[in-house]
Chain A
Amino acid sequence: MPAGSMPLSRRSFGALAAAAAAGGLARPAVAQGAPLRIGLMLPFSGTFAALGENIAAAVELYIAEKGGRIGGRTPQLIRLDDESNPANAVQNVNRLVGRDRAEVMIGTVHSGVVMALVQASRERGVPLIIPNAGNVAATRELCSPTVFRSSFSNWQPAYGMGLALAKSGVKRACWVTWDYAAGAESGQGFADGLKAGGGELVRELKLPFPETNFQPLLAQIPGLNVDAVGSFFAGGGAVQFVREYAAAGLKDRIPLTGSGFLTEGVLGPQGAAAEGVRTALHYGDGLDNPKNTAFRAAFKQRTNRDADVYAVQGYDAAQMLAAGLEATRGDPTAEAAFARGIRSARIDSPRGAFTLSPSHNPVQNIYLREARGGENRVIGVAAEALADPGTGCRMT
């Protein structure tokens, strides 16, 4: 029993008291009368608001599909807008688990904010499912029995891109990115992927975040004698970079590739400059499987928006939570059994079914996509059933 293996926290004591007061039995596993408080800490305003909304909508879609329940419990969703602001992250997490007494947490998009959630989950034992942020640390050195990820590690998509390039005959490539953690972690994946396929990363070109003076970097590329360029940029920076790469006349001579975020959600403003750009990600347009077809139709019907990779990650976060709850008869505080439940589940994702690695990160296909006519069409599998190495993870 969980209460025997770990100290009773204030939160689970509260749940217990509530169960007792409701006339139930003094065992949280059967305190199923009270709703399960799920904290959704996501960006609902600011740059990433659309991502947060899609994640939350997909969680709600899953619950609706299960007749308003999740893992046998009636959920109560508590939305908290983290504004993608790392400065308020700790305060927001404290509100979620303190004032709002969230029993499980789903969050978030921004990798600077997610660390506060990871920290809180490690310290207080509140299970956390990360539906986007790709910091490798969350499933490596800071891994925890209570922390799970439904998305990706930054290393994974870039590894797939590097491997696919090397397999297609690329011997030498360079990597262009902003000088920050996500760029460096992706760069490492790209280098590892190239190496695994017999290629070599010859240079990393970096500029300070969020500067956009790409010219001094771009002008170096012809002299590097590379067969392809890999890159990690997202959002507005990705728009600017892809356009400048084309304007510098490089696109037709040295293929531009990248981690999937380079062309995710920004193909409109990138326009013709993005046509033919190949990227790798765990999801893409035109992915042909029944689950994906059904999911996209249901999401569209519910929200009147097209599903995207963020919606998929939100949906799968809900599926993972359900797997944990089903294994514990609805009790998220049963730490070991909850984790075993998620670990042993085969998540039937729209991206293709996946399981979790020992460090709780999806073992998943990384797809090769090509930008065509405003879509990132899947044209193959860059890396099959790819697991993050999980280096430095010691579950305690």
Chain B
Amino acid sequence: MDLSGLFAQVLNGLQYGLLLFLISSGLTLIFGVMGVINLAHGSMFMIGAYLAYVIASLTGALWLALPLAVLGGLAMGAALEAGLFRRFYKREHLDQVLLTFALILLFEEARSAMLGNDFHAVPVPAILDFSVPVTAEFAYSAYRLAVLVVCLFVALLMFLGIERTRIGSAVRAAAEKPEMVDLLGLDARRIHLLVFAVGTALAMLAGALAAPLQSVYPNMGESFLIICFVVVVVGGVGSIAGAFWAALLIGLVDTLGKAYLPEIAGLVVYLLMAGVLLWRPSGLFAPGR
């Protein structure tokens, strides 16, 4: 095995894992705090990616899509929470699954009606359209490195927000001991609104960042949704730290699996998940359990 090839693959794994973290962090909080299995989270990723595609083709300025994805995501998340999800927290998981599955169908149909079913490549912004050698034989596009840095930065913001702020500790309390929220006299409804809005914004931001790396195509959110649920389960539901480390782990295992065990590449992450669940049924970083 050549070491420089391994190094390039590790970098690929980290980059992929950090992108998974952006999507999974919202998913794990929504699941952890509100107890909702939000299947439509992948659609938020898809919408973010198509937003980047539309912005890039209309204006040529892809970076514009990033603030728009965040603001649009906050608004969309808040609207979904206040308009729909709020009524489903006390319902059974089956009802929630039906609701969120219906949302997937709605979003995909809307995407199909407005933008068609084509596969579109999204150009990398011109100033980042060059490559940086990472090993003697393999280069990395500057855009890919930039995404890696942005993801790390967002992860840092998430840590600080969750660990160092009052509202962050309220969210943690809501995820770990929901009854504490009432005992402390916190407004659970505001926490729910905030978590949903931020989670949705992160998924849309991830989509916008990923569009030049992944292209945009119908149902692109679903393949990411499944792998992100693996991240959530492995990391421990409701844990941001868990989502972070699990996302990196899954990103690495998936990438190295594809590179070195191509025959069973599709299975490797699920074998890992099964192993983790046998060893620690509530995940690596299960909060408060």
Contact B139 A237 (CB under 8 A): no
Indicate the member of A47, A218, A219, A235 with the most B CB atoms within 10 Å: A219
Contact B138 A219 (CB under 8 A): yes
Residue A236 CB within 8 A of the other chain:
yes
- B140-175 contacts to A, CB under 8 A, are 140-141, 144
Residue of B nearest to A239 (CB): B121
Contact status of A215 and B12, CB under 8 A, knowing A222-B5, A222-B137, A223-B5: yes
Contact A247 B258 (CB under 8 A): no
CB distance from A210 to the nearest CB of B (A): 6
State in angstroms the CA–CA spacing of A270 and B9 once bound together. Answer: 25
CB distance from B13 to the nearest CB of A (A): 8
Residue of B nearest to A46 (CB): B117
Contact A206 B131 (CB under 8 A): no
Residue B118 CB within 8 A of the other chain:
yes
Contact A222 B138 (CB under 8 A): yes
Interface flags for A196-214 (1: CB within 8 Å of B; 0: not) read: 0000000001111011110
Contact B118 A47 (CB under 8 A): yes
Contact B139 A220 (CB under 8 A): no
Residue of A nearest to B15 (CB): A215
State in angstroms the CA–CA spacing of A219 and B141 once bound together. Answer: 13
Residue A119 CB within 8 A of the other chain:
no
State in angstroms the CA–CA spacing of A253 and B258 once bound together. Answer: 23
State in angstroms the CA–CA spacing of A223 and B117 once bound together. Answer: 37
State in angstroms the CA–CA spacing of A247 and B274 once bound together. Answer: 36
Residue A169 CB within 8 A of the other chain:
no
Contact B223 A236 (CB under 8 A): no
Residue B215 CB within 8 A of the other chain:
yes
Contact A249 B123 (CB under 8 A): no
State in angstroms the CA–CA spacing of A239 and B123 once bound together. Answer: 10
- B100-159 contacts to A, CB under 8 A, are 116-121, 123-124, 131, 133, 135, 137-141, 144
Residue of A nearest to B143 (CB): A247
Contact A213 B214 (CB under 8 A): yes
Residue of A nearest to B3 (CB): A223
Residue A248 CB within 8 A of the other chain:
yes
Name the contact of B117 in the complex, choosing from A47, A211, A215 (C-beta under 8 A).
Answer: A47
Q: How large is the interface on A (under 10, 10 to 19, 20 to 34, 35 or more residues)?
A: 20 to 34
Contact A205 B141 (CB under 8 A): no
Number of interface residues of B (CB under 8 A): 37
Residue A35 CB within 8 A of the other chain:
no
Name the contact of A249 in the complex, choosing from B5, B118, B133, B262 (C-beta under 8 A).
Answer: B133
Contact B259 A210 (CB under 8 A): no
Contact B121 A269 (CB under 8 A): yes
Inter-chain contacts of B262 with A (CB < 8 A):
205-206
Contact B215 A219 (CB under 8 A): no
Residue of B nearest to A253 (CB): B137
Residue A240 CB within 8 A of the other chain:
yes
Name the contact of B118 in the complex, choosing from A212, A213, A216, A236 (C-beta under 8 A).
Answer: A236
Inter-chain contacts of B119 with A (CB < 8 A):
47, 210, 235-237
State in angstroms the CA–CA spacing of A217 and B260 once bound together. Answer: 10
Residue B2 CB within 8 A of the other chain:
yes
Residue A372 CB within 8 A of the other chain:
no
Inter-chain contacts of B140 with A (CB < 8 A):
247-248
State in angstroms the CA–CA spacing of A206 and B121 once bound together. Answer: 20
Contact status of A248 and B120, CB under 8 A, knowing A216-B9, A216-B255, A223-B5: no
Residue B245 CB within 8 A of the other chain:
no
Residue A243 CB within 8 A of the other chain:
yes
Contact A247 B131 (CB under 8 A): yes
Inter-chain contacts of A248 with B (CB < 8 A):
131, 138-141
Inter-chain contacts of A243 with B (CB < 8 A):
121, 124
Contact A208 B266 (CB under 8 A): yes
Residue B16 CB within 8 A of the other chain:
yes
State in angstroms the CA–CA spacing of A237 and B121 once bound together. Answer: 8
Contact A236 B120 (CB under 8 A): yes
State in angstroms the CA–CA spacing of A341 and B135 once bound together. Answer: 60
State in angstroms the CA–CA spacing of A217 and B16 once bound together. Answer: 13
Contact A213 B121 (CB under 8 A): no
Contact A46 B116 (CB under 8 A): yes
Residue B217 CB within 8 A of the other chain:
yes
Residue B8 CB within 8 A of the other chain:
yes
Residue of A nearest to B257 (CB): A216
Contact A217 B137 (CB under 8 A): no
State in angstroms the CA–CA spacing of A223 and B258 once bound together. Answer: 15
Interface flags for A243-280 (1: CB within 8 Å of B; 0: not) read: 11011111001000000000000000100000000000
Contact A213 B16 (CB under 8 A): yes
CB distance from B144 to the nearest CB of A (A): 8
Inter-chain contacts of A216 with B (CB < 8 A):
9, 12, 254-256, 258-259
Given contacts A205-B262, A236-B118, A249-B137, 13 further A-B contacts (CB under 8 A): A46-B117, A46-B118, A206-B262, A210-B217, A215-B16, A216-B9, A216-B254, A219-B138, A220-B5, A220-B9, A222-B5, A222-B138, A237-B215
Q: Which 3 pairs of residues, A with B, have the shortest CB-CB distance?
A: A249-B139, A236-B119, A222-B137
| A–B complex contacts, Cβ < 8 Å, 16 sampled | A47-B116, A47-B117, A210-B217, A216-B12, A220-B5, A222-B2, A222-B5, A236-B215, A240-B121, A240-B214, A240-B215, A244-B141, A247-B131, A249-B131, A249-B138, A253-B137
